[in-house]
């Protein structure tokens, strides 16, 4: 039977490629993030909060469906014109909130695909956020480095001039006649690319993919933070009075990093640091709005990131050169794309003033668990097959218990997985480069199995696989079992 539920508003603010060490409350000394720090000071700061994967689309898929990403072969970094990867019958996190009587909205980065293939951007694009449980949406389709560089509101491109239709095509050689690209017109670039990103030039920056037309609808990278903040705050203002769920997905600090003028020079680390300060300002806008509307005590605010950090992700913005002593992943090894913890262990803060005691938690929790946990909070039973891997760790999320999960599967890239169990991390033998030649990230691939004891080796330096073959044997059998099972949440 359902328990009588509560219905606080829930706002999830979700950074893109922000590392475990990238904000003040997680140890960054040279990137001022007063708003995220204020959020953390009033809430629970998790030391072991995880995204499910080391890249965006898989992590977001898990956040919104309560399923591990490796269950869906299409949950991999998507092109900007990819079809929606959330199947129509899938129960989603916003759908669950909607069932509980919430108004639901998404603002910011989507990157889960739109439509069913062969998209026409000049008409309603078909299936997307509004068909996945959100009552309203104001998004970018994919990433800020992928075309089309336009906003979509409730499935329509914003500000499109019918006389200048948009066309989008992916494929390196699929140039439109006369199109200006990074590859052929590098003299036009204000930010140069270091790898990939040699397609259509928009605002002096070449992107992945090719587009033409839609000129009146093109976004301005330097005002994107304000545009999304405006919409996110607007959603809260319009919803005040009924419970709401807002998924506010930032574009920072993903490449290309183009802060608004007032954030340029905010840190000694160049654009990467500066856009983190800009993102912090966005967090502040949201917290201020909740205060102004008298909603702070009725609202659970979560801040987290979709995957770990990367410095050079394809543009020459000097992130590596200017990093100084800043360690984007903090004490963790690896970063975005990595099987090591730097790929998936991210800042995770939850605040609910008056209900949740501020503090720090060592509980192992995953973004995967929001679905079952908030279903429990709002007094709902999950339907059969709903959120099959999401666990109710509400007590841990609300800081009432130090016990979260016992085990968690983590994904690097391309469905390569790792098993975390209590203090142990087991990384099976995986083919591929040890270090990415383009991003310079330690990927965690090795022909040898790896085993780390995080209780004494948070940096995953000392491989204990040879010393502890019995742990390797158990964990490898368990990982195979989990990967083969249709659900990992116990049914009772
Ligand atoms: C990679 C891009 C990278 C980034 C990533 C997706 C190249 C060479 N690299 O393919 O720049 O866009 O995809 O990032 O094109 S994510 O955070 O959305 O997963
Ligand atoms: Ca990301």
Secondary structure of 5-72 in HEC code, one letter for each residue:
CCCCEEEEEEECCCCCCCCHHHCCCCCCCHHHHHHHHCCEEECCEECCECCHHHHHHHHHHCCCHHHC
Ligand 1, atom 12: nearest CA belongs to which residue? 145
Q: If you measure from the C-alpha of residue 137 to the centroid of ligand 2, how many angstroms do you get, rounded to a whole number?
A: 19
Which 3 state secondary structure label does DSSP give 272? helix
Task: Quote the mean pLDDT of the chain.
Answer: 97
Per the CB < 8 A criterion, the answer to whether 199 and 184 are in contact is no
Please report the pLDDT score of residue 2 as a whole number: 45
Looking at the domain assignment, is residue 492 inside a domain? no
The per-residue pLDDT for range 53-75, each reduced to its tens digit, is 999 999 999 999 999 999 999 99
Comparing 235-244, 247-256, 322-331, which segment has the lowest mean pLDDT? Answer: 235-244
Pocket test for ligand 1, best of 143, 210, 328, 411 (most atoms within 8 A of CB): 143
Residues with CB under 5 Å of ion ligand 2 are 16-17, 56, 306-307
Q: Give the torsion sign (CA, 43, 363, 52, 270).
A: positive
Any residues with Cβ below 6 Å from ligand 1, and which?
16-17, 55-56, 77, 111, 143, 145, 195-197, 208, 254-255, 307, 313-314
Ligand 1, atom 17: nearest CA belongs to which residue? 56
* 17 and 140 share one domain: yes
Looking at the domain assignment, is residue 4 inside a domain? no
Q: If you measure from the C-alpha of residue 390 to the centroid of ligand 2, how many angstroms do you get, rounded to a whole number?
A: 21
Last residue of a domain, one of 362, 377, 397: 397
* 181 and 55 share one domain: no
Please report the pLDDT score of residue 490 as a whole number: 79
Torsion angle, alpha carbons of 387, 390, 394, 399, to 10: -140
Residue range of the domain that includes 428: 407-483
* 143 and 263 share one domain: yes
- Intra-chain end-to-end CA distance of the chain, in Å: 12
Give the C-alpha separation, 383 to 402, whole Å. Answer: 28
Pairing relationship of beta strands 205-206 and 201-202 according to DSSP bridges: antiparallel
* 380 and 446 share one domain: no
The per-residue pLDDT for range 119-160, each reduced to its tens digit, is 999 999 999 999 999 999 999 999 999 999 999 999 999 999
The per-residue pLDDT for range 430-457, each reduced to its tens digit, is 999 999 999 999 999 999 999 999 999 9
* 379 and 447 share one domain: no
Looking at the domain assignment, is residue 490 inside a domain? no
* 340 and 465 share one domain: no
The per-residue pLDDT for range 211-245, each reduced to its tens digit, is 999 999 999 999 999 999 999 999 999 998 899 99
Give the pLDDT band (50/70/90) at residue 489: confident
Pairing relationship of beta strands 49-50 and 365-366 according to DSSP bridges: parallel
Please report the pLDDT score of residue 463 as a whole number: 98
What number is the average pLDDT over the span 168-182? 91
Ligand nearest to the CA of 438: 1
* 225 and 363 share one domain: yes
CB hemisphere CA count around 70 (13 angstroms): 23
Pocket test for ligand 1, best of 54, 77, 443 (most atoms within 8 A of CB): 77
Count of domains in the chain?
3
Q: Which of 107, 79, 25, 19 is nearest to 305 (CA)?
A: 19
Looking at the domain assignment, is residue 320 inside a domain? yes
Question: What residues pair up with 417 in beta bridges, in sequence order?
Answer: 411
- Which ranges constitute the DSSP H helices of 183-315? 224-239, 271-292
Pocket test for ligand 1, best of 59, 78, 196 (most atoms within 8 A of CB): 196
């Amino acid at each position: 039977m359902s328990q009588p539920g509560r219905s606080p508003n829930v706002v999830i603010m979700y950074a893109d490629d922000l590392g475990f060490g990238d904000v003040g409350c997680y140890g960054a000394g040279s990137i001022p993030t007063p708003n995220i720090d204020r959020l953390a000071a009033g809430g629970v700061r998790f030391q072991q909060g995880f995204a499910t994967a080391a890249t965006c689309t898989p992590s977001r898929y898990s956040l919104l469906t309560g399923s591990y990403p490796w269950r869906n072969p299409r949950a991999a970094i998507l092109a900007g014109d990819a079809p929606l990867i959330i199947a129509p019958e899938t129960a989603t996190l916003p759908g669950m909130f909607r069932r509980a009587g919430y108004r639901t909205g998404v603002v910011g980065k989507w990157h889960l695909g739109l439509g069913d293939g062969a998209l026409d951007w000049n008409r309603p694009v078909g299936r997307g956020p509004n068909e996945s449980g959100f009552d309203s949406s104001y998004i970018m389709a994919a990433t800020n480095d992928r075309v089309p560089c336009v906003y979509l509101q409730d499935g329509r491109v914003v500000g499109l001039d019918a006389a200048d239709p948009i066309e989008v095509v992916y494929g390196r050689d699929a140039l439109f006649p006369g199109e200006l690209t990074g590859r052929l017109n590098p003299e036009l670039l204000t930010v140069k690319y270091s790898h990939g990103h040699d397609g259509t030039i928009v605002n002096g920056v070449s992107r992945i993919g090719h587009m033409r037309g839609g000129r009146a609808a093109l976004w301005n990278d330097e005002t994107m933070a304000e545009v999304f903040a405006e919409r996110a705050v607007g959603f809260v203002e319009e919803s005040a009075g009924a419970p709401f769920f807002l998924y506010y997905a930032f574009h920072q600090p993903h490449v290309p990093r183009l802060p608004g003028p007032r954030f340029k020079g905010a840190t000694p680390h160049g654009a990467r640091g500066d856009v983190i300060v800009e993102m912090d300002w966005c967090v502040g806008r949201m917290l201020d709005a909740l205060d102004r509307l008298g909603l702070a005590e009725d609202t659970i605010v979560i801040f987290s990131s979709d995957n770990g950090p990367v410095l050079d992700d394809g543009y020459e913005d000097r992130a590596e050169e200017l990093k100084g002593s800043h360690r984007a992943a903090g004490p963790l090894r690896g970063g975005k794309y990595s099987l090591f913890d730097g790929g998936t262990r991210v800042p995770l803060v939850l605040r609910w003033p008056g209900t949740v005691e501020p503090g720090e938690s060592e509980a192992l929790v995953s973004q995967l668990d929001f679905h079952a946990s908030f279903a429990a909070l709002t007094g709902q039973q999950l339907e059969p097959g709903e959120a099959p891997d999401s666990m109710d760790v509400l007590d841990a999320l609300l800081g009432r218990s130090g016990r979260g999960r016992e085990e968690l599967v983590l994904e690097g890239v391309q469905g390569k997985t790792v098993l975390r169990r209590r203090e142990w991390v087991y990384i099976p033998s995986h083919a591929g480069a040890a270090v990415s030649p383009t991003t310079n990230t330690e990927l965690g691939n090795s022909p040898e199995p790896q085993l780390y004891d995080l209780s004494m080796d948070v940096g995953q330096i000392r491989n204990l696989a040879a010393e502890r073959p019995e742990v390797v044997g158990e964990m490898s059998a368990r990982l195979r079992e989990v990967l083969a099972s249709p659900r990992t949440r116990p049914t009772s």
